[in-house]
Structure formats: C-alpha cells, structure tokens
C-alpha cells in the first residue's frame, strides 16, 4: 500500500508490516523525548566548573543552544521531531484502521449469508 504524507513524501509499505512500523516509530518518539529530558537536565548545570569568564560563557552558551526554547536550539528540534513522529503514527494508524475496515467489509461480503 502506498501512503502519502503530503509534501511529496510517499512510501510503500506492506500492510502486514504496519504494526511493526508503528511500534518502531513510537519507540523512536520515546527515545526523542528521553533525549529532550536529558537535554533539559543540563539546565541544572548552570554552575560553571570554575569562575573564570571562559567557563561561565561556555556554560551559558551550552544551555542557550540546547535547553532554551527558541529557534535553532536542541529543544525546538526535538519538539519538531517528536511532532513529526506523532503525525506519522497517526496517519499510519488511520490507514491501517481504514484498510482493516475495508478488508473486513470485503470479507463479510464473500461469506455465506454476509
């Protein structure tokens, strides 16, 4: 079956493989969320290893580029990635459910008394 994700992104997947694909994407999302949690944990590391300017500036920049919720940071990239995975899972589940509904209707049509 061919699945269209919009924006020219299409791929073909065997219907029997949909549940495994969905599970893999959900596992990937869990890992993305865990990475995000670990990145947020860096906020507790605001204390530089020493008080000289280089260390204080390095810690500030690391936190700004990873934890802060602004354009170009790890946090924003992680959110976008998790959202994209969510969208893919929702679409795959919808396609699977539609296929199963259609297939179930087709099978009942061919059964005696169906």
Give the tens place of pLDDT for each residue, 36-91. 888 888 777 777 778 899 988 988 888 888 888 889 888 899 999 999 999 999 98
pTM: 0.70
Question: CB of 38 within 8 A of CB of 78?
Answer: no
Over residues 21-49, mean pLDDT: 88
| Mean pLDDT estimate for the chain | 82
CA distance 6 to 21: 18
Is residue 83 within a helix (H) or strand (E), and if so which, with residue range?
Answer: helix 74-110
The percent of residues above 70 in pLDDT, for the chain, comes to 80
Angle at the Cα of 8 (from 14 to 1), degrees rounded to 5?
15
* Nearest alpha-carbon partner for 90 in 15, 7, 32, 3: 3
């Amino acid at each position: 079956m061919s699945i269209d994700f919009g924006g020219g992104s299409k791929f073909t997947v065997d219907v029997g493989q949909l549940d495994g694909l969905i599970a893999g994407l959900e596992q990937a999302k869990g890992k993305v969320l865990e990475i995000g949690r670990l990145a947020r944990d860096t906020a507790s590391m605001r204390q530089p290893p020493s008080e000289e300017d280089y260390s204080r500036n390095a810690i500030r920049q690391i936190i700004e580029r990873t934890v802060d919720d602004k354009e170009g940071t790890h946090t924003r990239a992680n959110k976008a990635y998790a959202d994209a995975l969510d969208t893919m899972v929702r679409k795959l589940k919808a396609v699977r459910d539609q296929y199963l509904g259609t297939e179930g209707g087709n099978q009942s049509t061919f059964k005696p008394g169906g």
